[in-house]
């Protein structure tokens, strides 16, 4: 399809959706339809899910078990109770929203899509060339449950280099909701754009979680969080901070993570191939760690075969972004002040943290400190990839806009 034809189709699709937006909308019905669809998607044998998962695995080079586990985590929050509760409180919307999706994490943006559809908005979704399958299959499955709701959805696909088509989409909708790295969001621009740019997540292991009975559970949960989506989503932990004055307990926790990540790589194999730039980034991180270790710095590199995974114990590190693909740093912190100092360089770029520890008061206090740094979601280890429907993603600007009365900005 050439650009002129595609531009005409974008305009025609927007008119089809707008015609539907003029019809009566029942948020409760939409919530029930979406709950039924997503319940089917939680069934591994559901044919449309199987088709989507197989195509995603091939497209991204992820192993099939990894894709299945990642989809399970993604879909977990979308229960009938959560969706109907939202339907009871959300003001009705009549806007047509254009969604520009990233290609690194299949299903990213599902929270916002579900919220928009329950509220009554129409959605025109531009999928990434790296991952064009999830939303096309989701629309197909919605059509089987509620044709009217499906008619409020259009799914397109073109590359980021086709800026004329992105401009045509922006001109056809009332607002753009964009995902991707900061450069992508900046390139889209516009006063009617809500952008979810580059974000980072991490984990904290409190002293209470360092008892032998808790260490393995905490390490297993964090490793699972790291592994899902090949550590490429905004909810994937990059750095683990362990409450420990001497550094011995943090090193022990790194060893526990090594055992867990090696075991999980058997049941959820790492990609057997990747883009050259990704491989180069992984090698660079490892070589820097290796040379620092040879220089007798307080660092220890643990790595799997080929480029399957890496755990880096780094005693003195502040929050360090990872290149993804199961590469995670572990560092000790002495006290609250030390922890905040180590997190400060990433302030404003943090999205979520898991906290390991049984004391609720510690978790509440840490959550308040993290919120001040921009963190929008705190979870237990193993649950960070399944935030609730009302997760204040990116600071909550989209959720707040959808819940506010009046016209969409």
Q: What is the pLDDT of residue 409?
A: 64
Q: What is the pLDDT of residue 194?
A: 92
Do 375 and 200 contact (CB within 8 A), yes or no? Answer: no
C-alpha 65/C-alpha 269 separation (Å) is: 8
Query: pLDDT category, 181, cuts 50, 70, 90?
Result: confident
Q: What is the pLDDT of residue 368?
A: 97
> Residue 400 pLDDT more than 70?
yes
Query: pLDDT category, 343, cuts 50, 70, 90?
Result: very high
Q: What is the pLDDT of residue 407?
A: 67
Q: Where are the alpha helices (DSSP H) in 192-275?
A: 212-227, 248-267
C-alpha 94/C-alpha 109 separation (Å) is: 19
> Residue 189 pLDDT more than 90?
no
Query: pLDDT category, 4, cuts 50, 70, 90?
Result: confident
What helix, strand, coil percent values describe the chain, rounded to 5? 50, 15, 30
Give the percent of the chain with pLDDT over 70.
Answer: 99
> Residue 359 pLDDT more than 80?
yes
Interior angle at CA 54, CA 49 and CA 60, nearest 5: 120
**Most confident among 191-195, 269-273, 332-336 (mean pLDDT):** 332-336
Task: Report the greatest alpha carbon distance in the chain.
Answer: 69
> Residue 27 pLDDT more than 60?
yes
Extract long-range pairs of 337-342: CB within 8 Å, 24+ residues apart.
339/204, 339/241, 339/243, 339/369, 340/369, 340/373, 342/241, 342/317, 342/318
> Residue 335 pLDDT more than 90?
yes
Query: pLDDT category, 191, cuts 50, 70, 90?
Result: low
Q: What is the pLDDT of residue 351?
A: 98
Rounded to the nearest integer, the mean pLDDT of the chain is 95
Q: What is the pLDDT of residue 211?
A: 83
> Residue 147 pLDDT more than 80?
yes
Q: What is the pLDDT of residue 3?
A: 82
C-alpha 392/C-alpha 16 separation (Å) is: 31
Q: Report the half-sphere exposure of 178 (CA within 13 A, side-chain side).
A: 26
CA 336 to chain centre: 27
pLDDT tens digit sequence for 56-79: 999 999 999 999 999 999 999 999
Q: What is the pLDDT of residue 312?
A: 98
Nearest 10 degrees: CA dihedral of 388, 108, 227, 35? 50
Do 82 and 388 contact (CB within 8 A), yes or no? Answer: yes
> Residue 146 pLDDT more than 70?
yes
Q: What is the pLDDT of residue 184?
A: 76
Pairing verdict, β 299-303 and 310-314? antiparallel
Cβ-Cβ contacts under 8 Å for 104 (sequence gap 6 or more): 130, 131, 229, 232, 233
Q: Give the neighbor-by-neighbor strand order of the sheet with 122-127.
A: 153-157, 122-127, 96-100, 175-179, 193-196
Query: pLDDT category, 291, cuts 50, 70, 90?
Result: very high
Query: pLDDT category, 25, cuts 50, 70, 90?
Result: very high
> Residue 1 pLDDT more than 90?
no
DSSP 334-380: -SHHHHHHHHGGGTTSEEEEEEE-S-HHHHHHHHHHHHHTT--EEE-
**Lowest-pLDDT range of 38-42, 197-201, 337-341:** 197-201
Q: What is the pLDDT of residue 406?
A: 74
């Amino acid at each position: 399809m050439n650009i002129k034809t595609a531009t005409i189709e974008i305009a025609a699709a927007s008119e089809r959706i707008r015609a539907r937006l003029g019809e009566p909308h029942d948020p409760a019905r939409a919530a029930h339809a979406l709950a039924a669809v997503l319940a089917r998607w939680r069934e591994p044998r559901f044919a449309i899910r199987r088709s989507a998962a197989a195509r995603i695995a091939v497209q991204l080079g992820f192993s099939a078990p990894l894709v299945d586990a990642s989809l399970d985590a993604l879909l977990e929050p979308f229960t009938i109770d959560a969706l109907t509760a939202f339907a009871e409180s959300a003001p009705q919307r009549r806007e047509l929203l254009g969604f520009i999706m990233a290609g690194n994490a299949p299903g990213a943006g599902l929270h916002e899509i579900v919220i928009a559809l329950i509220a009554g908005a129409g959605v025109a979704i531009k999928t990434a060339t790296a991952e064009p399958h999830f939303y096309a299959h989701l629309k197909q499955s919605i059509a089987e449950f509620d044709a009217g709701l499906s008619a409020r959805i259009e799914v397109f696909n073109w590359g980021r280099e086709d800026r004329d088509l992105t401009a045509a989409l922006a001109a056809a909708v009332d607002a753009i909701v964009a995902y991707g790295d900061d450069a992508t969001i900046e390139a889209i621009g516009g006063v009617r754009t809500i952008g979810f740019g580059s974000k980072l997540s991490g984990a904290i292991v409190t002293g209470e979680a360092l008892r032998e009975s808790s260490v393995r559970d905490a390490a297993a949960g964090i490793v699972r969080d790291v592994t899902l989506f090949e550590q490429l989503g905004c909810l994937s932990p990059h750095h683990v901070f362990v409450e420990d004055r001497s550094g011995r307990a943090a090193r022990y926790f790194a060893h526990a993570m090594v055992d867990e990540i090696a075991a999980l790589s058997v049941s959820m194999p790492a990609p057997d191939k990747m883009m050259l730039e990704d491989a180069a980034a992984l090698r660079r991180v490892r070589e820097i760690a290796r040379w620092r270790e040879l220089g007798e710095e307080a660092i220890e590199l643990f790595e799997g075969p080929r480029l399957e995974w890496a755990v880096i114990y780094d005693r003195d590190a502040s929050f360090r972004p990872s290149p993804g693909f199961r590469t995670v740093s572990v560092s000790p912190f002495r006290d609250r002040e030390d922890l905040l100092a180590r997190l400060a360089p990433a302030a404003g770029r943090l999205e979520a943290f898991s906290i390991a520890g049984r004391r609720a008061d510690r978790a509440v206090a840490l959550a308040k400190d993290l919120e001040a740094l921009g963190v929008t979601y705190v979870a237990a280890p193993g649950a960070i990839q399944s935030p609730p429907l009302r997760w204040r993603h990116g600071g909550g600007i989209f959720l707040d806009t959808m819940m506010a009365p009046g016209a969409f900005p």
